[in-house]
Structure 1
Amino acid sequence: MSVIAEATIPSAAFELGQILRVEGPTQVTLETMVPLGGRPTPFIRIRNDARESFERSVRDHPSVNDIQLVDTHDDETLYSLDWEPSDASLLRTIPDLDAVLLDATGDAEAWCLELRFPTHEALSSFQDYYVEEDIDVSINRIYNPTKPDADPWYGLTPPQRETLADAVEAGYYSLPRQISTQELADSFDISDQAVTERLRRGISTLVRNTLLVDEPDE
């Protein structure tokens, strides 16, 4: 039976956090991970007011081949990162443990990760890994959304569940549609692409944690 863990890791102890250095209150959001050429390729979203220093800092990192601008809208920019993760990279280890990275958001101090493991044994293997590697990981919460008394949000982050709920209530999924993507985005003061991505990831998380789960043992 699957289990979800919410963890915090210092930016300096996380390879991607070392690369994606930001200043002050700026946050970096890992939108998705695409396996290209045998390595995980991150897509990252950041506010435009931090764009110049962010690009310069990322390009200066020795493991980075290139950072490419994918799209920019209003005050947000989406990048793809071409990098060479080390063999000991946490992002390489996560798939090796059959885990799925559901969400990742970081700032100058720490990254918050949400991970889905197929079993409690897989989660234990992950914990053994970071203890053995002396990585300072704090597990904030562990829950199994398939249990009757489990967390009711099925792994959704607060922004995802708020956006999904508002979208349904406002008629975004009605036929005909009663609110546009741009109008929904304006209500959250984010770009239309950002709200579309938030909805996509929220729906994906719901499906993974409700439909794509093993049947509980009798």
Structure 2
Amino acid sequence: MPDGPWIADVSRAFPDAGFRVLTAVPDESAGFALLRLTARDADAVLAAMRDHEALSKVSVMARGDGVATVRIETNAPLLLVAAKRSGLPIEMPLDIENGVAEVDVTGEHERVAALGKRFDELGLEYEVERVRQRVDPVRLLTDRQQELLLTAVELGYYDVPRRSTLTEVADHLGIAKSTCSETLQRVERTVVREFVDDLPNRPLEDDADAAGADTGADGGADLDAESDAEPATSPQTYHS
């Protein structure tokens, strides 16, 4: 973030401090937020916040050892302004350290692109770490795959210990054991990959390997759009 906004100035002055915005609401000319501050010297950070001209109010709601929950009012909520102008809300919590914010948004491709333009207009430099399509879980599997998975679960195939064998699941559905095994492997691969993609701390290198492409230093993004060709997909939304 550029110099000037309180969060940029204070977080750079205290690079060891962590700021987690829990909730935030933009107004016409101000922003209101509840955040959690974590720092070795929380008192010094709070003093710097109160002295900053961009903060009109700083209220400590709770205190602990090196931790404070703070309600603030600011006249320069750049991230909130960018989100409001693009029509794309920023997902909370929002973590900021040393003048850098890690932002997650979900929306149509056009609105994600519009948010980037608003960042440019406000002097916010950014790098896109990941862009991926978020698929409706209901449409991850074909109807046949869903039927097989639900049957396997109902018969206890995934219980520990198992209450049924692969042969029993296949016989119940009247299909060959080899067909049952191959279909379940496809189902498991699809479900597990979707679960892993939603993990918040998934290493970016995993996405680059999956997409077979590199992310350049200029902030380009990889699109991990691998999915089974069989099921239809729902209208696209993007997560960056």
| Residue 115 of structure 1 pairs with residue 105 of structure 2 | yes
State the aligned residue count. 150
**Structure showing greater relative contact order (alpha-carbon pairs closer than 8 Å, 6 or more residues apart):** 1
Change (3 A) 1:155 1:29: farther
CA RMSD of aligned residues (A): 3.3
CA distance in 2, matches of 1:62, 1:72: 23
CA distance in 2, matches of 1:73, 1:64: 22
Alignment TM-score, normalising by the size of structure 1: 0.56
Q: Percent identity?
A: 10
Q: Per the alignment, in what secondary structure is the counterpart of residue 17 of structure 1? A: helix
Of 200, 208, 212, which residue of structure 2 is paired with 1:157? 200
- 1:188 equivalent in structure 2: none
| Residue 76 of structure 1 pairs with residue 67 of structure 2 | yes
CA distance in 2, matches of 1:49, 1:93: 31
Q: How does 1:102-181 map onto structure 2 within 5 Å?
A: 102=91, 103-117=93-107, 119-146=108-135, 148=140, 152=195, 157-158=200-201
Q: Per the alignment, in what secondary structure is the counterpart of residue 20 of structure 2? A: strand
Q: Per the alignment, in what secondary structure is the counterpart of residue 42 of structure 1? A: strand
- Contact (CA 8 Å) 2:105, 2:112: kept in 1 or not? no
CA distance in 1, matches of 2:109, 2:34: 29
Alpha-carbon shift at residue 37 of structure 1 (Å): 7.5
Alignment TM-score, normalising by the size of structure 2: 0.52
- 1:4 equivalent in structure 2: none
CA distance in 2, matches of 1:134, 1:91: 14
- Give 1:216's aligned amino acid: S
Q: Structure 1 stretch 41-50 or stretch 17-26: which is displaced more?
A: 17-26
Q: Per the alignment, in what secondary structure is the counterpart of residue 114 of structure 1? A: coil
Change (3 A) 1:16 1:156: farther
Which runs of 5 or more residues in structure 1 are unaligned? 1-10, 160-214
- Contact (CA 8 Å) 1:145, 1:154: kept in 2 or not? no
Change (3 A) 1:70 1:39: same
Change (3 A) 1:62 1:16: closer
| Residue 216 of structure 1 pairs with residue 234 of structure 2 | yes
Of 28, 31, 56, which residue of structure 2 is paired with 1:65? 56
Which runs of 5 or more residues in structure 2 are unaligned? 141-189, 203-232
Q: How does 1:23-42 map onto structure 2 within 5 Å?
A: 23-35=14-26, 39-42=30-33
- Give 1:152's aligned amino acid: F
Alpha-carbon shift at residue 49 of structure 1 (Å): 2.7
- Give 2:103's aligned amino acid: L
Alpha-carbon shift at residue 122 of structure 1 (Å): 0.6
Of 42, 45, 51, which residue of structure 2 is paired with 1:51? 42
Q: Per the alignment, in what secondary structure is the counterpart of residue 124 of structure 1? A: helix
CA distance in 1, matches of 2:43, 2:37: 11
Cα deviation 1:57-100 (Å, max 9, x = unaligned): 112221211210011244421001111126xx231120222212
- 1:100 equivalent in structure 2: 89
Change (3 A) 1:81 1:19: farther
Alpha-carbon shift at residue 137 of structure 1 (Å): 0.6
- 1:211 equivalent in structure 2: none
